[in-house]
């Protein structure tokens, strides 16, 4: 109880001082009341001084989960490095003003650090803004970079749906002025390569282009100031029927019905292959709009690269209903959808999905999409997303008063938490107990001597050869306890030390989890001189 009492005393003193200064002490009073209430509750409940828990919306990644995440990261890092990616590692907090004005109404979800004197800082909300800040600050005009790190959003957590306040993002971006669609094609190739390597199941990349979408809005007659609001309504077409979306456009957002109908003629178009592209290219009215014409030329070139050079066009679906929420996209936009990743609750929650939570938006890669629909509640889950953003870096450079050339960027963010959920779900379905450590050899002793120094010596021999080995930290461990530990940890080989064998200079090696005729397997006798070679040959 001491620390609560101390804190109360501290607060009382503080309140006294504040009263002298005639300042408002309501926050401190409130905190003191809460602490006092907790204290009297604790007195009733028992001697508990505080709860042992992690902050709301965060979790400890326990060993099996942390190991699986590490494997996901290693797979992605391998792919990113293969494409010349460089890694940068930025601070977990940025100056508050760096994040200001980048996330619209979501800015309220930013975690601020307390003002303890000095600069005002906030925890990073995504990895894109720190990347743009890095480029602008260092005057870097071209870079391929990847960054895998945690980001922070003070959102209402729904842990069962994987919506957390601390979660990993995994971004690959290409910055620089290049020929059209060359980096864009490679980003899409990388995304396809990554999802294939992660083995998340069948997936499709939904692809669209902001300039074509804007061209359609222009052609349909959407007033310029309504473009983004109408765009966000269009983006809901994967969850809502056209009638509902049209209703949002006309009733909620005040669009003319005739304008909405003209939009409706286009945004239903989608499909794999070149059919949608061909149809739009043949549309003379649309091609008369400059922005649409540019977007269509981009798409034609991109399709050529994806089909003829990279051979991955079959993964792409041109989808005119994909709009994405973030304002900063200026070119192609995309989202990867895993077909088999609908969570069990999808059907039950389908009706709920029609009522977007108020004011929720999210950047690329989060579970909650930009119109507030938590995609883990709908039939098809987005597992990665991104697009081209040609102006963000310059926003920083300009705001800081330095005049620089444009630094166009295209990037993708892979939803690691979603990938993890899919792989973990599959593992559970297979009912396999996950490994928590990678130990390859468990050294045990038989007989009452315990043979601790001998176990240590053998362990050292194996460690020096790079073999992962453990033994029990007991001078005289029980045989059954040692076997149980080897089995629990799913260690493949057990090295058995016993006085009789040691005298002969041998150790018995037994492979675990291998079915053999009863009594037929007491392991193989291996000379201590050859044991490293013997095990290495079997482990590698």
Residues 265-324 that bind a second copy (CB under 8 A): 304-305, 308-311
Residue 195 vs 240, nearer CB to a second copy: 195
| Footprint of a second copy on 128-147 (CB under 8 A) | 133-134, 136-138, 144-145
Residue 476 vs 516, nearer CB to a second copy: 476
Residue 179 vs 225, nearer CB to a second copy: 179
Residue 178 vs 483, nearer CB to a second copy: 178
SS3 214: helix
Locus of tokens 């601390």: 166
Q: Based on the shown chain and the rule CB under 8 A, indicate whether residue 49 belongs to the binding site for a second copy.
A: yes
Tell the smallest beta-carbon distance from residue 411 to a second copy (Å): 14
Among 71, 406, 428, 460, binds a second copy (CB under 8 A): 460
Q: Based on the shown chain and the rule CB under 8 A, indicate whether residue 61 belongs to the binding site for a second copy.
A: yes
Among 8, 15, 25, 67, binds a second copy (CB under 8 A): 67
Q: Based on the shown chain and the rule CB under 8 A, indicate whether residue 338 belongs to the binding site for a second copy.
A: no
Closest residue by Cα to residue 191 from 319, 76, 314: 76
SS3 523: coil
Pairing assessment for the beta strands 469-471 and 316-319 based on DSSP bridges:
unpaired
Q: Which stretch binds a second copy (CB under 8 A): 117-125, 267-275, 281-289, 425-433?
A: 117-125
The string of DSSP codes covering 165-197 is SEEEEEEEEEES--STTHHHHHHHHHHHHHHHH
Tell the smallest beta-carbon distance from residue 263 to a second copy (Å): 32
Among 40, 44, 60, 355, binds a second copy (CB under 8 A): 60
Phi, psi of 179 (to 5 degrees): -75, 150
The DSSP code for 350 is T
Q: Based on the shown chain and the rule CB under 8 A, indicate whether residue 473 belongs to the binding site for a second copy.
A: yes
Among 150, 253, 427, 508, binds a second copy (CB under 8 A): 150
Q: Which stretch binds a second copy (CB under 8 A): 16-24, 211-219, 229-237, 370-378?
A: 16-24
Measured at the alpha carbon of residue 537, what is the angle toward residues 532 and 540, in degrees to the nearest 5?
110
Tell the smallest beta-carbon distance from residue 127 to a second copy (Å): 12
Q: Based on the shown chain and the rule CB under 8 A, indicate whether residue 51 belongs to the binding site for a second copy.
A: yes
Q: Based on the shown chain and the rule CB under 8 A, indicate whether residue 21 belongs to the binding site for a second copy.
A: yes
Locus of tokens 């007659």: 221
As a whole number of angstroms, the distance between CA 271 and CA 397 comes to: 39
The string of DSSP codes covering 300-348 is HHHHHIIIIIS--GGGEEEETT---S-TT--SEEEEEEETT---TTHHH
Residue 119 vs 257, nearer CB to a second copy: 119
Residue 119 vs 524, nearer CB to a second copy: 119
Residue 245 vs 443, nearer CB to a second copy: 443
Q: Which stretch binds a second copy (CB under 8 A): 270-278, 326-334, 391-399, 524-532?
A: 391-399
Tokens matching residue 443: 């050294």
Among 186, 214, 374, 375, binds a second copy (CB under 8 A): 186
Tokens matching residue 502: 């040691």
Residue 256 vs 436, nearer CB to a second copy: 436
Closest residue by Cα to residue 230 from 209, 207, 254, 206: 254
Tell the smallest beta-carbon distance from residue 219 to a second copy (Å): 30
Site string for a second copy, 192-231 (x = CB under 8 A): -x--------------------------------------
Pairing assessment for the beta strands 441-445 and 493-497 based on DSSP bridges:
parallel
As a whole number of angstroms, the distance between CA 398 and CA 405 comes to: 10
Tell the smallest beta-carbon distance from residue 308 to a second copy (Å): 6
Closest residue by Cα to residue 385 from 197, 194, 242, 233: 194
Q: Based on the shown chain and the rule CB under 8 A, indicate whether residue 113 belongs to the binding site for a second copy.
A: yes
Distances from the Cα of 382 to the Cα of 2, 143, 203, 211, 386, angstroms: 49, 27, 10, 22, 11
As a whole number of angstroms, the distance between CA 204 and CA 302 comes to: 16
Tell the smallest beta-carbon distance from residue 234 to a second copy (Å): 29
Q: Based on the shown chain and the rule CB under 8 A, indicate whether residue 479 belongs to the binding site for a second copy.
A: no
Among 125, 203, 266, 396, binds a second copy (CB under 8 A): 396
Tell the smallest beta-carbon distance from residue 123 to a second copy (Å): 8
Among 8, 39, 176, 357, binds a second copy (CB under 8 A): 176
Q: How many residues bind a second copy, per CB under 8 A?
A: 118
Tell the smallest beta-carbon distance from residue 474 to a second copy (Å): 5
Tell the smallest beta-carbon distance from residue 211 to a second copy (Å): 20
Query: Quick count: other Cβ atoms within 10 Å of Cβ 236?
Result: 22
Label residue 369 exposed, middle or buried (CB < 10 Å: 0-12, 13-18, 19+).
buried
Residue 75 vs 227, nearer CB to a second copy: 75
Edge-to-edge strand ranges of the sheet holding 493-497: 469-471, 441-445, 493-497, 506-511, 524-527
Q: Based on the shown chain and the rule CB under 8 A, indicate whether residue 499 belongs to the binding site for a second copy.
A: no
Q: Where are the alpha helices (DSSP H) in 222-270?
A: 227-234, 242-247, 257-267
| Beta carbons of 521 and 535 less than 8 angstroms apart | no
Conformational region of residue 374, where left means phi above 0, alpha means psi within -120 to 50, and beta covers everything else: beta
Q: Based on the shown chain and the rule CB under 8 A, indicate whether residue 437 belongs to the binding site for a second copy.
A: yes
Q: Based on the shown chain and the rule CB under 8 A, indicate whether residue 251 belongs to the binding site for a second copy.
A: no
| Footprint of a second copy on 87-106 (CB under 8 A) | 87-95, 97-98, 100-101
Query: Quick count: other Cβ atoms within 10 Å of Cβ 124?
Result: 25
| Beta carbons of 493 and 466 less than 8 angstroms apart | no
Tell the smallest beta-carbon distance from residue 391 to a second copy (Å): 16
Residue 31 vs 327, nearer CB to a second copy: 31
CA 398 to chain centre: 30
């Amino acid at each position: 109880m001491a620390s609560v009492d101390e804190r109360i005393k501290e607060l009382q003193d503080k309140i006294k001082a504040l009263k002298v200064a005639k300042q408002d002490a309501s926050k401190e009073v409130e905190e003191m009341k809460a602490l006092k209430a907790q204290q009297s509750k604790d007195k009733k409940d028992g001697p508990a001084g505080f709860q042992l828990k992690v902050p709301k919306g965060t979790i400890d990644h326990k060993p099996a989960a942390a190991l699986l995440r590490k494997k996901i990261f290693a797979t992605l890092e391998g792919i990113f490095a293969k494409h010349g990616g460089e890694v940068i590692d930025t601070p977990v907090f940025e100056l508050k003003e760096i994040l200001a004005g980048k996330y619209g109404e979501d800015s309220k979800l930013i975690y601020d650090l307390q003002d303890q004197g000095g600069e005002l800082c906030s925890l990073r909300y995504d990895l894109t803004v720190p990347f743009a800040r890095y480029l602008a600050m260092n005057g870097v005009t071209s870079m391929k970079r990847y960054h895998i790190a945690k980001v922070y959003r003070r959102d209402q957590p729904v842990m069962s749906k994987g919506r957390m306040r601390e979660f990993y993002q995994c971004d690959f971006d290409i910055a620089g002025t290049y020929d059209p669609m060359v980096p864009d094609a490679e980003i899409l190739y990388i995304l396809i390569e990554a999802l294939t390597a992660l083995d998340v199941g069948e997936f499709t990349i939904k692809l669209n282009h902001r300039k074509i979408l804007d061209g359609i809005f222009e052609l349909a007659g959407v007033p310029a100031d309504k473009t983004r609001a109408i765009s966000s309504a269009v983006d809901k077409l994967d969850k809502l029927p056209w009638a509902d979306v049209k209703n949002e456009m006309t009733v909620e957002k005040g669009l003319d019905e005739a304008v909405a109908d003209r939009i409706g003629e286009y945004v239903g178009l989608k499909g794999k292959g070149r059919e949608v592209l061909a149809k739009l290219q043949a549309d003379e009215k649309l091609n008369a709009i400059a922005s649409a014409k540019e977007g269509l030329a981009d798409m034609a070139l991109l399709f050529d690269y994806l089909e003829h050079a990279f051979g991955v066009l079959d993964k792409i679906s041109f989808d005119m209903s994909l709009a994405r929420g973030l304002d900063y996209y200026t070119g192609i936009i995309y989202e990867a959808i895993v077909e088999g990743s609908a969570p069990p609750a999808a059907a039950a929650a389908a009706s709920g999905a029609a009522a977007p939570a108020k004011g929720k938006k999210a950047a690329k890669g989060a579970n909650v999409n930009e119109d507030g629909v938590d995609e883990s509640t709908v039939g098809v889950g987005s597992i990665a997303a991104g697009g081209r953003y040609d102006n963000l870096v310059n926003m920083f450079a300009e705001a800081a008063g330095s005049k620089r050339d444009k630094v166009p960027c295209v990037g993708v963010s892979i939803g690691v938490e979603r990938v993890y959920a899919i792989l973990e779900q599959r593992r559970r379905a297979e009912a396999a107990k996950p490994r928590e450590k990678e130990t390859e050899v468990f050294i045990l002793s038989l007989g009452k001597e315990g043979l601790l120094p001998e176990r240590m010596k053998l362990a050292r021999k194996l460690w020096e050869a790079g073999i992962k080995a453990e033994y029990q930290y007991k001078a005289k461990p029980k045989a059954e306890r040692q076997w149980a530990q080897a089995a629990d940890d799913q260690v493949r080989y057990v090295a058995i030390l016993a006085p009789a064998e040691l005298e002969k200079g041998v150790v018995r090696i037994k492979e675990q989890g291998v079915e053999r005729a009863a009594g037929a397997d007491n392991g193989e006798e291996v000379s201590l001189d050859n044991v490293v070679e013997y095990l290495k040959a079997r482990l590698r």
